[in-house]
Structure 1
Amino acid sequence: MKRKVIVFGLVGLLILGTFFGCSKAASTKEAESATLVLKNGAIYTMDEEDRVASAVAVINDQIVYVGDDAGVESYVGDDTEVIDLDGKMVTPGFIDGHIHAASDQLSRLYSVYLTDTEPDIKLYQAALKEFAEKHPELEVIIGRGFQLKAFGDEGPTKDVLDEIISDRPVIISDTSGHGDWVNTKTLEMAGITKDTQAPAGGEIYRDANGEPSGYLSDAGELIANLTEKTKTTPEQFFEAFKVFEDESAAKGITGINSMGSDIAAPVIWKMMDDYAKTGEMTLRVKFAHRAVDGDDPAQIVKELQDGQQYVSDMQNIIDIKTFIDGVPEGKTSYLLKPYAATANMAEDYRGEAMWSQESLNEFVAAADKAGYAVDVHAMGDASSRMFIDAVEYAFEQNGKRDARHNLIHANLLDPADIPRMGELGIYAGMQPIWFYKDPIFSQLEIQMLGQERFDQEYVIRDMLEAGIIMTGSSDSPVTTDNRPLIGIECGVTQCSPYPGGGQGDPVFVRNVNQTVSVIDMLRFYTINGAKEMFMEKTIGSIEVGKKADMVVLTQDITKIKPDDISETEVVSTIFNGKIVYQK
């Protein structure tokens, strides 16, 4: 059988690179024929020296050679699939460091999906009406993706929903997933009245008479009796996950850190293990256990320990996710200083934490002692400090270790807390698509936080210089455009990555002093993501002995104008040595 040769395009420059001495091959004996060879490319290894090669050889699922074109020839046999890259760029497979796997796909399949609808009340009503008429069997109607921008200062109201549906409860989450727009029937069935108190860290929005207006921010527990009836089944989740998996491959994503679902983590762990054993799975995964204040850490640790039977090179089980606060646009972030006057809250209003410092300290210490990482959602400088203090407390109790506790979002930090994060080895789970001054959320953040604090957000260069390891992610479905190349451009430019949508316009630049390099951003989405998964010995860089997870791009994004990064396309995605996506 003659060997196959595939040529990818005509663009790109041949990078001779630095070739790797003794790390070129798995062995000095005569090379075994590879199943796959890539050559004549710009292969960014993302190893400790950021070396660049021109060729790589793979046997089955493992990388056996990284080096130059001449050296790879000894791995080419009659049955080797040879890909001539013609100068194209290759990187390790991308890793989304914070995502809610299949949530967007579930919304598209089973609920009112407003994410792609223009932020307009009439259009929202039309979509709801159409869905309700198609699904008369549903006891509770749920949806996702509305923009607060559509409602002005009054915010979402129950009356708008009542006009369309008044006989069934309706619950529509906003784009952040922290706010719920509900109708009168929902309020009645949940028992939410003028006298109902908001839960810790949450808000019940009210009209001029003090009655619930129809918008709840971080108050989902008040409507849990209704949302319980809409829970995803394992079968639905798996159907959506396979769609999510295919869409991920098309974006070059080969690994994810998933931070929660309404299905219990142990159920998902077994589901993923069963799927991995079929040999058809094309994503490496880490699904976090969820926790809230009041949960018994010993019980969660026990479930994590029981889950170790499902750990493999396809899945890791090592972390717990919780929330300390909400979101600035919902006025539920927990701040060191009061919200801006334009937020229209009480003069001393700073938000409220969902945990007490004492209970958070003890929870993090218990998880840390058992060897597990804690991932915390925090979008205020006060909530971020609470977590940093809790990690410091845990290390005082247990001794410092490479724990990789993770501050998710890390958008607003007191400058004094940045070096503390670096010293404690706390990771930061960033969403680079949020780094630019977008026309929707940025305006809401300026309204709630004020311009000065807005300008202090996402100081990634300062964080990098403090030694903080940051990962790149989308937080999908909060941001449905989860292409890593979009995030990489945002980190490099601090500006919009969308042609015709502000790209290159200084008006959309958030903080020009916080730009970082393309290589810095590639680390976010490759080796740093692998470290967050505790899988850096297996994935995250292109090195001999690691799994063959790689992405081929149309052009070398380190050699082009930063504004062109987001226009770069994924030519193919290779997972476990097999091409799982081909443009």
Structure 2
Amino acid sequence: MTSTLFHGGTIWRGADQATSGALFAREGVVEALDAAALRLASEAEAAGEHLERVDLDGGFLMPAFGDGHAHPLFGGLEAEGPDVRSCTSIPAIVDEVRRYAEAHPGVAWIQGASYDGSLADGGLFDARWLDEAVPDRPVVLRAWDYHTVWCNSRAFELAGIDADTPDPVLGEIPRRADGSPLGTLREWGAVELVTDIAPPRPVEERLRALERAAEYYLARGVTWVQDAWVEPAELDVYLEAAARDRLRIRFNLALYADPRRFATQLPAFVESRRRVTDAASPMLTANTVKFFADGVVENETGALLEPYCSSLHKHGMSVWGAEDLAEAVRAVDAAGFQVHIHAIGDAAVRQALDAIEHAVEANGPRDRRPVIAHAQLVDDADLDRFARLAIIPNMQPLWAQLDALMTVLTVPRLGAERADKQYRMRSIEASGARLAFGSDWPVSSGDPREGIAVAVSRRTPAGDPVGGWTPQEILPVALALDAYSAAVAHQAFADATDAPWGRIEPGAAADLVHLAADPRDLDPADLPDLPVRATWLAGIPRYRGERLPTP
């Protein structure tokens, strides 16, 4: 029997709990705190149990973080292609693609992610720039938003995309003045014209990506992740990883609901959930269905109540008709799935709220914990509906800053007045909603410390603006920590398990993260560099040390 005593620091049990000075865990479960923990540790040692004593060295032990909205397979795969994420200019991206192509002459399709969409005017990138590096093989690069790709001419040629190709349903092909495709594809209806003809990634490559993602998260104190977009091929990878015991953190899968195919999808969702349940892996569930209500503001595909400043796309893109989304959400909810809806613009958020309200009224009361992810813009009239309908707003705190993405692509499209109503985390939380955090990694960093730093300051890493952007939405540190731990556990139904994680109390799973100092005492600017000393999952140390592996 294995047991662990944690002592010598602050043990933070949660935003509304007292702190403790000692914690005793046995077989992956918290058994006692404070004096009772010290007594049990002594008894265990006297009985000959193997007892590990963890000296926190004045540090901070808290429930491990969760990520309530991310794309771990995408994140892990970024290391398999050209390293374009670190590039800060278009020539640098082109040079990196050239370097990769020369180093991998046998790779038929060069696929990479994810480039900074603010580097080109309007986020529009030209195929001819990539042609300079690789004219003879297809190149497909995803942008940071993962709603956009940049291709070379060879990729367009193989996909049959030319001046006569119409814009597909749920997508756009930006064009030159003569009508020929420029090189950028927006939203998945257009993106799939290329990605659907690319060869599938080898299974071993995807398994490596999952392991790489897990190592990335564990080094940042995260032990549970909501994969927010899973299609059949990805489901098979997760099941294979589970069968080979290669899942190192907990994952819940959100099965992607496609409005173009939904009529045949629901039975497949039920079968997918059964397959995951039968796999009986403690690391894997598939209890959620993911909907997109709109796109993103940077592409002017986020759905708005009032038009974009440019009026290029007017009110943006609604992925589903209102009645269709409401009926699909009702059907998924009736089948016992948790609903998870991507909604960026205020019109999309309202549509998502309406759809969930319809499901509640049609299907009756149950513990459903629906999620609306992102909620970048929420109209005043809708702020209190999250709490009233018991909807979890899963928001991305790292986005609430005036970085280049915001100042170059977002604010010009929304206008200053509307832009200042983005990411109303404090307002929504104050209305009574259970605010949870996610990262949308690899769209943005998956490091909770970086997200918390912005949530509690609304400032960029350089400290701008002084006092914070929209300071009325700044969160207290304790609430930000809770949103990345206990609130994500609530989203995950962790309290419905035999050993719930996300909190520290007797009977809870010992999913823990040891930080070198108390984050409540630090300047927000210092939070991203706060060392993670160790991460435990069910009492097992899965990460030790300060070195952060990169995906």
Q: What amino acid is aligned across from residue 11 of structure 2 in structure 1?
A: I
Count of aligned positions? 535
* Correspondent of 1:555 among 517, 530, 533: 517
Amino acid at match of 1:233: P
C-alpha distance 533-310 of structure 1, shift in aligned 2 (>3 A): farther
CA contact (8 A) 2:85 2:115 kept: yes
> Quick one: distance in 2 between partners of 1:195 and 1:444?
29
Could you tell me how far apart the structure 2 residues matched to 1:548 and 1:578 are?
Answer: 8
When residues 306 and 145 of structure 1 are mapped into structure 2, their CA distance, relative to the original with a 3 A threshold, is closer
Query: Does the aligned pair in 2 maintain the 1:34–1:80 contact within 8 Å?
Result: yes
Which of 445, 455, 459 pairs up with 1:491? 455
Based on CA coordinates, which of the two structures has the bigger radius of gyration?
Answer: 1
The yes-or-no answer on 1:567 pairing with 2:524 is no
Contact kept? 2:76, 2:208, Cα under 8 Å = no
2:472 is aligned with 1:513:
yes
Query: Secondary structure, in 3 states, of the residue corresponding to 1:322?
Result: strand
1:233-255 CA distances to partner (integer Å, 9 max, x unpaired)? 33211112222222222111111
Distance 1:213 1:376 in 2: 31
Distance in 2 between the 1:385 and 1:311 partners? 37
Residue of structure 2 aligned with 1:471, choices 436, 456, 479 = 436
Greater displacement, 150-159 / 402-411 = 150-159
Contact residue 455 and residue 480 of structure 2 kept, 8 A: yes
The residue aligned with 1:256 is 225
The residue number in structure 2 matching 1:101 is: 72
Q: Structure 1's 274 and 222: CA in aligned 2 closer, same or farther, altered over 3 A?
A: closer
Compute the displacement of 1:525 (Å): 1.1
Q: Which residue of 2 aligns with 1:155?
A: 124
- 1:367-418 deviation per Cα after TM superposition (whole angstroms, max 9, x unaligned): 1011101212121111111111111111111013221111111111111112
Q: Is the 8 A contact 1:233 1:263 kept in 2?
A: no
Note if 1:196 corresponds to 2:165: yes
Q: Find the aligned partners of 1:377 and 1:541 in 2 and give their Cα distance.
A: 27
Looking at structure 1, the residues matched to 321 and 84 of structure 2 have their Cα atoms a distance apart, in angstroms, of 35
Aligned pairs (5 A) from 1:57-76: 57-68=24-35, 71=39, 73-76=41-44
- Counterpart secondary structure, 1:181: strand
CA distance in 2, matches of 1:185, 1:567: 43
User: For 1:327, which of 289, 293, 296 is the aligned residue?
Assistant: 296
Return the letter of the residue paired with 2:144. Answer: T
Deviation at 1:228, TM superposition (A): 4.0
What is the distance in 1 between the residues matched to 2:368 and 2:86? 39
Structure 1 counterpart of 2:350, from 379, 385, 388: 385
* Cα deviation code 1:284-309 (max 9, x no counterpart): 11122122103222332333234322
In structure 2, what is the equivalent of residue 240 of structure 1?
209
- Cα deviation digits, residues 481-502 of structure 1 (max 9, x gap): 3211111121111112x3xxx1
Please, which moves more after superposition, 38-47 or 68-77? 68-77
- Are 1:113 and 2:72 counterparts? no
What residue identity is the alignment partner of 1:286? N
- Deviation track 1:200-219 (CA, whole Å, cap 9, x = no partner) reads 44222122223221111104
Output the CA distance in 2 between the equivalents of 1:325 and 1:508: 32
Which stretch has the larger CA shift, 403-412 or 197-206? 197-206
Q: Do 2:457 and 2:467's aligned partners in 1 also have CA atoms closer than 8 Å?
A: no
Which position in structure 1 is the counterpart of 2:549?
none
2:252 counterpart residue number? 286
Match of 1:258, SS? strand
Residues 350-389 of structure 1 correspond to what in structure 2 (within 5 A)? 350-389=315-354
CA contact (8 A) 2:115 2:141 kept: yes
TM-score normalized by the length of structure 1: 0.87
CA–CA distance in structure 2, aligned partners of residues 259 and 418 of structure 1: 24
Q: 1:345 to 1:361 in 2, by over 3 A?
A: same
Q: Deviations over 1:508-565 (max 9, x none)?
A: 9321000111110111111111122221342101111121111111111123333332
- The separation in 1 between residues aligned to 2:436 and 2:43, in whole angstroms, is 34
Deviating more after overlay: 166-175 vs 359-368:
166-175
Residue in 1 aligned with 2:13?
45
After TM superposition, give the deviation of residue 137 of structure 1 in Å.
2.4
Letter in 1 for 2:30: I
> What CA distance in whole angstroms lies between the structure 1 residues aligned with 2:189 and 2:2?
53
C-alpha contact 2:171 2:190 (8 A) present in aligned 1 = no
Structure-2 separation of matches of 1:169 and 1:402? 48
Any idea what SS the aligned residue of 1:98 has?
strand
2:3 aligned partner: 35
Q: Is the Cα–Cα contact under 8 Å of residues 35 and 58 in structure 1 kept in the other structure?
A: yes
Conserved in 2, the CA contact under 8 Å of 1:316 and 1:534?
no
Once the two structures are superposed, residues 406-462 of structure 1 have per-residue CA deviations (whole angstroms, 9 ceiling, x without a partner) of 111111111111211211111122111111111333331001111111111100011
Aligned-pair CA distance for 1:475: 0.9
1:169 offset after TM fit, Å?
2.2
For residues 405 and 182 of structure 1, what CA distance do their matches in structure 2 show?
A: 36
2:503 corresponds to 1:541 = yes
Amino acid of the structure 2 residue aligned with 1:564: D
TM-score under structure 2 length normalisation: 0.91
Matched, 1:55 2:22: yes
Offset at residue 167 of structure 1 (A): 2.5
Deviation at residue 70 of structure 1 after TM alignment: 5.1
Match of 1:424 in 2: 389
Per the alignment, residue 318 of structure 1 pairs with: 287
Say what the alpha-carbon RMSD is for the aligned residues: 2.2
Amino acid at match of 1:394: A
SS in 2 for 1:270: helix
- The corresponding residue for 2:548 is none
SS in 2 for 1:180: strand
Contact 1:471 1:528 in 2 (8 A): yes
Q: Secondary structure at the match of 1:317?
A: strand
Q: CA deviation at 1:360?
A: 1.0
Q: Say which of 509, 518, 523 aligns to 2:482.
A: 523
Equivalent pairs: percent with the same residue?
Answer: 29
1:85 paired residue among 48, 53, 56: 56
Aligned-residue offset at 1:73: 4.8
Q: Tell me the amino acid that sits aligned with residue 137 of structure 1.
A: G
Question: What's the secondary structure of 2:306's corresponding residue?
Answer: coil
Deviation string, structure 1 residues 306-343 (Cα, Å, up to 9, x no partner): 432235542222001122221111111111111013xx
Runs of 5+ unmatched residues, structure 1: 1-32
1:270 counterpart residue number: 239
**Would you say the 8 A contact 1:288–1:318 is kept in 2?**
yes
Q: Is the 8 A contact 2:24 2:38 kept in 1?
A: no
Q: Measure, in 2, the Cα distance between the counterparts of 1:305 and 1:216.
A: 36
CA contact (8 A) 2:515 2:534 kept: yes
User: Distance in 2 between the 1:35 and 1:154 partners?
Assistant: 54
- CA–CA separation in structure 1 for the residues paired with 2:348 and 2:417: 19
> 2:159 & 2:299 partners in 1: Cα distance?
21
For residues 9-50 of structure 1, what are the alpha-carbon distances to aligned partners after superposition, in whole Å with 9 as ceiling and x for unaligned?
xxxxxxxxxxxxxxxxxxxxxxxx861101232111127x42
Distance (Å, rounded) in 2 between the aligned partners of 1:265 and 1:366: 23
